[in-house]
Amino acid sequence: MNIRKLIAGNWKMNGTVAVLSEIETIAAGTPDSVDVAICPPFTLIAPASGRGVPIGAQDCHSASTGAHTGCVSVAMLKEAGATLCIVGHSERRADNFETDSDVRAKAEAAQAGGLIAIVCVGETLKQRDAGEAISVVQGQLAGSLPENRDGLVVAYEPVWAIGTGRTPTTGDVADMHAAIRAVVGPAVRILYGGSVKPSNAAELLAVPNVDGALVGGASLTAADFLPIVAAAAGVARNDATG
């Protein structure tokens, strides 16, 4: 089953209004065969919307309202113009002690509010070296995924590869994405995230069951992001022609 590639950019805590023209350049350079999205900081969701690229959030709260200082609800995100939301990113799991059940509640809230949920999973270097990578990730999936899989996206991000310049071998990626596919079924898009850049995008995106990428630092500029999008388009063409 061929699934349209999705290249999603996670700007993390980077960007101001002055750099939003990058999104317009990305929109102009994206072919029709690839889906793209940008997830900027909360403060940029509203001004980023309407620039030709779907805009997402980097997190949400599972509650609709309440005494949750510093948090943002799904309804607030949607009103600002977001159409999707990342939940369970490894940095939030580590820095904010988010559990699988926390992530699942956020994903369910995103879905209920009309946003596409991108659920992140991934193992640490210690877990991989112990031979536990696949069992850890499948355990995270069991605890983090909502029952409703319609429109759901899963992002596999080996924690030890994020921002380090290190990447798993294509064999490692293939094995993990196959293990994830066995859990989520044929229709869920599975993204690879972990130091994706123009130099390795084509190789990673050609791996079976890799339906796109969750891109960090290389998504901050069109000059770095568009070659990754182009690589996805090239893989899509090859898949279409057999």
Give pLDDT, residue 240. 75
Residue 206 exposure: Cα atoms within 13 Å on the Cβ side: 13
Q: 6-241 sits in which CATH class?
A: alpha beta
153-164 mean pLDDT: 90
pLDDT at residue 166 is higher than 90 = no
pLDDT band at 228 (very low <50, low <70, confident <90, very high): very high
State which amino acid sits at residue 205: L
Residues in the chain: 242
> pLDDT averaged over the chain?
95
pLDDT at residue 242 is higher than 70 = no
Task: Tell me: is residue 216 an annotated ligand-binding position.
Answer: yes
Residue 141 exposure: Cα atoms within 13 Å on the Cβ side: 25
Give pLDDT, residue 1. 64
Q: Active-site residue 68, yes or no? A: no
89-115 mean pLDDT: 96
- Extract the tokens encoding 83: 């159409």
Instruction: Compute the Cα dihedral for 11, 154, 152, 102 and give only its sign.
Output: negative
83-89 mean pLDDT: 98
Task: Tell me: is residue 21 an annotated ligand-binding position.
Answer: no
Q: Active-site residue 89, yes or no? A: yes
pTM: 0.96
